[in-house]
Every structure is written in C-alpha cells, then in structure tokens.
Amino acid sequence: MSDQISLDALLRPDLRGASPYGAPQLDVPVRLNTNENSYPVPEDVVADITARVAAVAPELNRYPDREFTELRTELAAYLSRTGGVELEPAQLWAGNGSNEVLQHVVLAFGGPGRTALGFTPAYSMHPLISTGVGTTWVDGLRGQGTDAPFDLTVESAVEQVREHQPHVVFLCSPNNPTGTALTLDVVEAVYAAAERAVVVVDEAYAEFARPGTPSALTLLQGRPRLVVTRTMSKAFAFAGGRLGYLAADPALVDALRLVRLPYHLSAPTQAIALAALAHADQMLGTVEAIKEQRDRMVAELADLGFAPVASDANFVLFGGLVDAAATWRDLLDRGVLVRDVGIPHYLRVTAGTPAETDAFLAAAAEVATTAT
Ligand code: PMP
C-alpha cells in the first residue's frame, strides 16, 4: 500500500511554504554577493593552519575540548586588544559561524510563546533563525516613509520595543544590507526600554566601520542582558573556517551551554581558528584596502547616477533603480554577481579587490542609462 501522508502534512505547520536562506552560489568571474573578503588566506597562515590541523589529526579519535577554552582565551585577548574594552574568556562564546551563536541565543532566550523584534531591513537570518526555533518574529520599522528610510532613531526604536515587549531584540551595526552603523545611544536606549529582553547587537562588520563608530562591546559592563556578536567570516577573511563568536556577561554565556550540542566546535575548527587568530594583524591586513574600494564605489556609483547609501561595512547598498531584478540580471550578463536583497529599487554589492571594483563599475556604467 502506498504511503498517503504528504511531507507537507508532516512538516511543522509554521515551516510550511517557508523559503530557506539562498544567496546564489554561481560560478561567475566577479562574485560580489555575500560580503566575503575577496583576498585569499596568506601563504604563511596557510602553512600554520596546515601544521595545526596535522597536529590534531592523530587525536581525532577523541572528542574535542567541549569548552574550547584556548579559543575563548584567544578571542578574549583579540577583542581586548581591538574592541576598546578588557574582556575575560568567561565572557566569550563561539560557534560554527555567528549564525550558530545567534541561534544559541534564541534557543536559550526565545522559543515557543516568545517574541523577537528586529528593525527591517536588516540581516535576513535574524527572522529565519528566530522562527526556526519557534520564536514569534516581529518586523520592526526603520525610517520608512521619511527622507532617511534606513535610519533607526532612539525614539522610534524605544517606541517599538515598548509596543511589542519582545524577549529578544536584534540590532545590527553596521547594518546589513544598508551598511550604516548605529550610534551607541540607540543601543543604550533599547537596552533600557527592553527591560525583560536579551538585546543582541550583531557586529559582523564592525572592523570596517568608519572612524568614530565605537563598538557596543564598550557597553557590556553593567548590562547583563546585552550580547555583542562578531564573526571571522568578513574582515578576518575566514568565511570557510566557520567561526563566529559573541561577548556577554559570564552568566549569560553560561546559559548558552544548555542549548549547544556537545562538542559543537570540532578539533580542526578550533585549531584553524587559533591559527587565524595567531596571525590576526595579517588576516586583517586587507581591511583598509577594502574600505578604500567601498568608498570608491560609493563615490563612483553616485557619479554614474545611482543612489548609493553611506557604508560602514564591506558592501554598498545602491538605489535609484527602475527595476532592481532587471539590473541584477544585466550585471550578471556582464559577469558580475551582486545581491538582490528584496528592497525595491536597490541592490547590494560587496567591496573586494581593485580589479573587482573596476569590473563592477565598468558593468554598472554600461547599464546605468537603462537602470536608473
Ligand atoms: N550577521 C550578519 C549581519 C551577516 O551579514 C552575516 C553573514 N552574511 C552573519 C551574521 C553570519 O555570518 P557567519 O555565520 O559566517 O559568521
């Protein structure tokens, strides 16, 4: 007898009809769609990575250090050196990409019967990670309808927090996909208004921020419900290494141990992340060059008649497009893959090498008259 029940009927009702995260991975000459760092890992770091993997390989019969103590120590040292604040290893937590540490936070503090609030447009995984573990998602607004549509003001953020009384609040600074960083007064005000919430500041792009943009790490002291997430995928040029991390109060970090799967960070992952951290200055050596390309893109896109948004990240959101999907296709036909993030009349492009910027701007110049 054939099985009559459809998979759709078996699937959790709240997942029926949902779409997975799906940035296209197309094999084209210029890939500027996922905000990776275009520069390869330097050769001497590759040698160190290889040596460290070789060193742990004979012991792969054993589980890795479940508490990844050495890695937490080195992450704390790195943030203490660069983040403007002294942090202890007990304040650090890591996962396979910052997506995983974000998931740990909502597993522990969100979930069924609870609400998470974000301010859209922001990182598309915040709602997916939240609803994936049964949390109700509330799409908050930025400045839609005003002449600063992507800005988030203290007044508006606080009002929305009061209205929705969330259990988890997501802020993203610098914000993906709009590019701009939040001022710390927004973080402080949201934290004060969200009295029963864990407040997450996703700082995946922090290392690219323009001068005068302090990290929310400087607010951790005295705020036991504040979480700041970071990643090695962007400035650190280590997206394939899959290492994201967060800093928070030790008690909050301790709670995350309730929801992580045992041994979630493999021995090779811990080893290669330690290798990358040992060469942090070198790994971060391309940040200034990428910022230059970002600023060049903003200036030249404006000259071409597009409407780029100021950016503190390694990408630029640009608007003024008649039909974003058509322009996306026209750029792809010229060998340049950018991202259609679903904001009408806008596309997002990652800042990479000078040659990639040349190729992107040449293609943009070709399509400019029909696109804008
Ligand atoms: N946060 C933001 C804002 C991002 O843009 C991304 C990657 N696109 C991530 C988190 C997750 O990155 P990863 O899991 O590679 O650390």
pLDDT score recorded for residue 2: 63
* CA distance from start to end of the chain: 59
CATH architecture of the domain formed by 44-283: 3-Layer(aba) Sandwich (3.40)
Compute the distance from residue 98 Cα to the ligand 1 centre, in Å. 6
Residues 238-243, mean pLDDT to the nearest whole number:
97
Q: Which positions ≥6 away from 343 have C-beta within 8 Å?
A: 121, 177, 317, 319, 324
Contact 85, 218 (CB under 8 A): yes
Separation CA 207–CA 214 (nearest Å): 10
Kindly tell me if the per-residue pLDDT of 144 is higher than 60: yes
pLDDT score recorded for residue 203: 98
Of 139, 89, 133, 138, which Cα lies nearest the Cα of 109? Answer: 133
Domain ranges of the chain: 23-39+286-371, 44-283
pLDDT per residue over 295-327, tens digit each? Answer: 999 999 999 999 999 999 999 999 999 999 999
pLDDT score recorded for residue 226: 98
Residues 50-73, mean pLDDT to the nearest whole number:
98
Residues with CB under 6 A from ligand 1: 35, 97-99, 123, 172, 176, 202, 204, 231, 233, 239, 244
Compute the distance from residue 204 Cα to the ligand 1 centre, in Å. 6
Kindly tell me if the per-residue pLDDT of 164 is higher than 60: yes
Would you place residue 75 in the very low, low, confident or very high pLDDT band (cuts 50, 70, 90)?
very high
pLDDT score recorded for residue 1: 55
The residue whose C-alpha atom lies closest to atom 12 belonging to ligand 1 is: 98
Compute the distance from residue 270 Cα to the ligand 1 centre, in Å. 19
Kindly tell me if the per-residue pLDDT of 58 is higher than 60: yes
Would you place residue 128 in the very low, low, confident or very high pLDDT band (cuts 50, 70, 90)?
very high
Report whether CATH 3.20.20.150 matches the domain 23-39+286-371: no
Residues 77-99, mean pLDDT to the nearest whole number:
96
For residue 156, how many other CB atoms are within 10 A of its CB?
18
Separation CA 65–CA 271 (nearest Å): 11
